[in-house]
Amino acid sequence: MNNRDPRYDILFDKVNIGPVKTRNRFYQVPHCNGMGHLMPNSVSAMRAMKAEGGWGVVATEECDIHPSSDVLPYREARLWDQDDQKRLEIMVDAVHEHNSLAAVELVHNGHAVSNRYSRLPVMGVSDLPVASYDPVQAYAVTRRDITAIRRWHRKAALRAKDAGFDIIYVYAGHDLTLAQHFISRRWNQRCDEYGGSLENRVRLTRELLTDTIEAVGDRCAVAFRFAVDELIGEEGICCMSEGRDIVEMLAELPDLWDVNVSDWANDSVTARFSDEGNQEPYIAFVKQITSKPVVGVGRFTSPDLMVAQIQRGVLDLIGAARPSIADPFLPKKIEEGRLDDIRECIGCNICVSGDWTQSPIRCTQNPTMGEEWRSGWHPEYMNPRGSSASVLIVGAGPAGLEAAVSLGRRGYQVTIADGGDGGGRVTKEATLPGLSSWRRVTDYRFGQIDKLANVSFYPGSIMQVKDIKEFSAEHVVIATGSLWRCDGIGRATWRSVLEKGKLDNVFTPDDVLAGVESISSPVVIYDDDHYYMGGVIAQLLCSRGLNVTVITPGPEVSHWTQNTMEQHRIEASLRQHQVSLVCKKTLVAFENDEVITSCNSTGAKYSYSASSLVLVTARLPLDDLYFDLAGESEELLTSLPFTISRIGDCLAPSTIAAAVYDGHRYARQLDEKVDPDKPSFRREQAMIYSG
């Protein structure tokens, strides 16, 4: 079915890339996934879903070419030998089944790795410490080493060709690659023909491109992924100077230019700190210089902006990582004229956290991401309805809404009731500074509910035990969310240090989100949550003219956001707002308008004046309704005329992504045979060798 708006026809033009041709302009650029070479079946199914959804090109994550570029503990692709080739062939075949092109991003990481697995000496452009805090240094490669690196890259390219890849990358971006380290004036301290002048510093990149073209260019396109700007001015590569010069030097050499900014935190900046299409000012010049096709990214979710980028000569191909994760079927939905069915990326970077925590990729918008192989989940299709027919869901937050939509698609008669207007924590948190895009989580699901005749939503409906029993549903789901604790219990404090009933000047994020006006300066925010909430509340209260101090037992403010690559921006923003930051201090007491803390290292006590204290610690599930029905010890479960379950924050408060996932999991498993004593998903396990 093709009911697309003619305005978007240009997005479905075929594009020649050297000896290959794409079926459209949608290009899933290389992106990590936390699964890599250890989970080839999972990666293959995830990439295949992108191809099925209409992405004309589907790329791997970075792919190490040799044990001297061992990125452990991160789970990236590998192409060290024939066994690695076989693992990647699974992905290539799966992508080709849907008539898409498969691309592989070859890389030697230089001093960006520590070789923790291979235990080989680290090879770098110069004698420098490795990029991590490991007590390891890289040694400056010799000409003989450079010859070996070129050989390894060429052999990996040939293996990639034999595996069936259509596009093979030379990678010089994100400050993660040896090629970029050679280009960089910061890292390249050499005095030979590979150092000094820009021409010398680009020499290795030119050689890698030439080697790859000679090895595989008869059948495969050769792409060059290059960061045209490091956003650190003239200290680094800059699009106004050396970035442009490099494009001019290599303009016609690769078959495709994949351009972005460096480092990764700049390339994949969160929606809190950037808008869609934010890279255009840096990359727009590239197409003016080269006749070869250009792909770039910008968290593109709007087809109008995609078309504008092409028509204005910024890009030839619409690159995406995060939008293709949020909706693998984004291209097909544009093609079929179903724009309101697109799950738009919210730019929260929970997907990125999978790589940093070495765990399978996940997504706030798309709960099936990473579950394609291990659970058999498809983002567009649900398993058929089981033996029962009706479900009542109490609570229309992210978990309840996802459960309602997914159960509706399975064919159940679903009623969802909410005491307010629905949306739960998402609706509230989307009002906080920088988080407005998060509203897409509920907007998408309300839009889908409107299309499902078998799903009914009743806002302003407070359900009591009597109401639920009289409703006569076969299944009841309690998705009533959670509230922030007001007693100080969190990760660092396991016993209550406060009693809010006796202190009118102690508040929680729920109070702030409710618009409580009695918060007065000076304000101390005690953040033992370590994600985004403490920082955004500090920013909000500063905007009201309050004097704010953030105290955290963590090593830095909003510490967990290192995994979403925004901690440095959060801290910079708070400092710009003149928020005082106090780290490694644990709350002990709040009395006489004094916050008393204990130093994590020495135990020494410190006090801070505070007219108001905001506690961002742990949350308590709002599960009274569940236990009123199930019994305090769940002893009534077997006597109820319906099944009853808790989902999302009502069961275990966590991220919005976790709540959406839990709602989806419930919907998938209802009436299915699930053994509670066994994993409900397939595992990829290491082969056991004997002898």
Asked whether the beta carbons of 78 and 113 are under 8 A apart, the reply is: no
Query: What pLDDT band is residue 691 in, cutting at 50, 70 and 90?
Result: low
Task: Classify each residue of 320-347 as buried b or exposed e, where b means 16 or more C-beta atoms within 10 Å of its C-beta.
Answer: bbbbbbbbbbbbbbbbeeebebbbbbbb
Per-residue pLDDT, 503: 78
Q: Write out pLDDT tens, residues 252-273.
A: 999 999 999 999 999 999 999 9
Quickly list DSSP for 306-344. Answer: HHHHHHTTS-SEEEESHHHHH-TTHHHHHHTT-GGG---
Confidence grade of residue 235 (pLDDT, cut at 50, 70, 90): confident
**Residue 171: active-site member:** yes
> Mean pLDDT over all residues of the chain?
96
Q: What number of other Cβ atoms are within 10 A of residue 83's Cβ?
A: 11
CA distance 247 to 689: 48
Residue 499 has pLDDT above 70, yes or no: no
Given the DSSP bridges, would you call strands 475-478 and 482-484 parallel, antiparallel or unpaired? unpaired
Q: Where are the beta strands (DSSP E) in 546-647?
A: 548-552, 580-583, 585-591, 594-599, 605-609, 612-616, 619-621, 643-646
- The arithmetic mean of pLDDT across residues 174-183, rounded, is 96
Residue 502 has pLDDT above 70, yes or no: no
Distance CA 463, CA 480 (A): 10
Peptide bond into 30 cis (omega under 30): no
Mean pLDDT of 408-433: 97
**Closest CA relative to residue 432, chosen from 612, 290, 616, 568:** 616
pTM over 0.85: yes
Q: Are 179 and 227 contacting, i.e. CB atoms less than 8 angstroms apart?
A: no
- Residue 97 tokens read as 């089944």
Residue 99: how many other CB atoms lie within 10 Å: 10
Give residue-wise pLDDT tens across range 613-670.
999 999 999 999 999 999 999 999 999 999 999 999 999 999 999 999 999 999 999 9
Query: Are 553 and 585 within 8 A, CB to CB?
Result: yes
HSE, side-chain direction, 13 A CA sphere, residue 282: 26
Instruction: Tell me if residue 409 falls in helix, strand or coil.
Output: helix
Query: Following DSSP, what letter does each residue of 648-681 receive, concatenated?
Result: GGGTS---HHHHHHHHHHHHHHTTS---TTS-SS
Sign of the C-alpha dihedral computed for residues 602, 603, 608 and 611 taken in this order: positive
CB 666 within 8 A of CB 500: no
Contact 171, 179 (CB under 8 A): yes
- Residues shown for the chain: 691
647 touches 393 (CB < 8 A): no
Coil, strand or helix: which one is 93? helix
Q: Which whole-number Å values give the CA distances from 623 to 458, 647, 654, in the listed order?
A: 20, 10, 15
Residue spans per domain, the chain: 6-356, 390-481+622-669, 484-620
CA nearest to 529, candidates 654, 617, 655: 617
Tokens of 327: 């909706």
Which pLDDT does position 496 carry in this prediction?
A: 87
CA 363 to chain centre: 6
Q: What's the Cα-to-Cα distance from 321 to each of 244, 363, 475, rounded to whole Å?
A: 24, 12, 38
- The correct CATH number of 484-620 out of 3.40.50.150, 3.30.1330.10, 3.50.50.60, 1.10.260.30 is 3.50.50.60
| Dihedral in degrees, nearest 10, Cα atoms 532, 538, 542, 544 | 90
In the predicted structure, residue 504 carries a pLDDT above the cut 90:
no
Q: Is the separation of the CB atoms in 405 and 445 below 8 Å?
A: yes
Contact 561, 531 (CB under 8 A): yes
pLDDT reported for residue 298? 95
Q: What is the rounded distance in angstroms from the CA atom of residue 116 to the CA atom of residue 121?
A: 10
Poorest-pLDDT segment among 2-6, 122-126, 473-477, 598-602: 2-6
Helix (H, G, I), strand (E, B) or coil at 516: coil
Instruction: Convert 290-318 to b/e letters by CB count within 10 Å (16 or more is b).
Output: bebbbbbbbbbbebeebbebbeeebbbbb
Read off the pLDDT of residues 585-621 as tens digits, 9 standing for 90 and up.
999 999 889 999 999 999 999 999 999 999 999 999 9
Task: Give the 3-state DSSP-derived string for 149-164, with helices as H, strands as E and coil as C.
Answer: HHHHHHHHHHHHHHHC
Determine the pLDDT at residue 198: 97
- Dump the DSSP string for 126-151: SSEE-SSSSS-EEEEP-HHHHHHHHH
Mean predicted confidence (pLDDT) in 419-424: 96
Rounded Cα distance between 527 and 516, Å, is: 19
For 678, counting Cβ atoms within 10 Å of its Cβ (0-12 exposed, 13-18 middle, 19+ buried), the class is exposed
CATH number of 390-481+622-669: 3.40.50.720
Cα-based distances in Å from 490 to 252, 587, 620: 57, 10, 11
Annotated catalytic residue within 267, 327, 355, 528: 267
DSSP-derived pairing of the beta strands 26-28 and 20-22: unpaired
DSSP bridge pairs for 106 = 63, 170
Pure H helices in 1-124: 40-52, 82-96
Q: How far apart are the first and last CA of the chain?
A: 56
Residue 66 has pLDDT above 80, yes or no: yes
Q: Which of 37, 174, 181, 530 is labelled catalytic?
A: 174
What topology does CATH give the domain 6-356?
TIM Barrel (3.20.20)
Catalytic residue among 27, 74, 171, 666: 171
238 as an active site residue: the answer is no
446-464: b (≥16 Cβ within 10 Å) or e: bebbeebebbebeeeeebe
Distance CA 30, CA 259 (A): 12
Percentage of the chain beyond pLDDT 70 is: 99
| Active-site choice (32, 63, 363, 542) | 32
| Cβ contact 22:318 at 8 Å | no
Distances 534 to 356, 497, 508, 509, 552 between C-alpha atoms, Å: 21, 19, 10, 8, 9
Instruction: Decide if 379 contacts 371 (C-beta within 8 A).
Output: no
Summarised one tens digit per residue, pLDDT across range 340-388 is 999 999 999 999 999 999 999 999 999 999 999 999 999 999 999 999 9
Q: Using an 8 Å Cβ cutoff, are 11 and 25 in contact?
A: yes
Cα–Cα distance, 503 to 593 (Å, whole number):
10
d(CA 406, CA 390): 13
Q: What are the DSSP calls for 192-212, one per residue?
A: STTSSSHHHHTHHHHHHHHHH
Categorize the per-residue pLDDT at 494 as very low, low, confident or very high, splitting at 50, 70 and 90.
confident
In this predicted structure, what is the pLDDT of residue 278?
94
Contact in structure between 103 and 62 (CB atoms under 8 Å)? no
In the predicted structure, residue 167 carries a pLDDT above the cut 90: yes
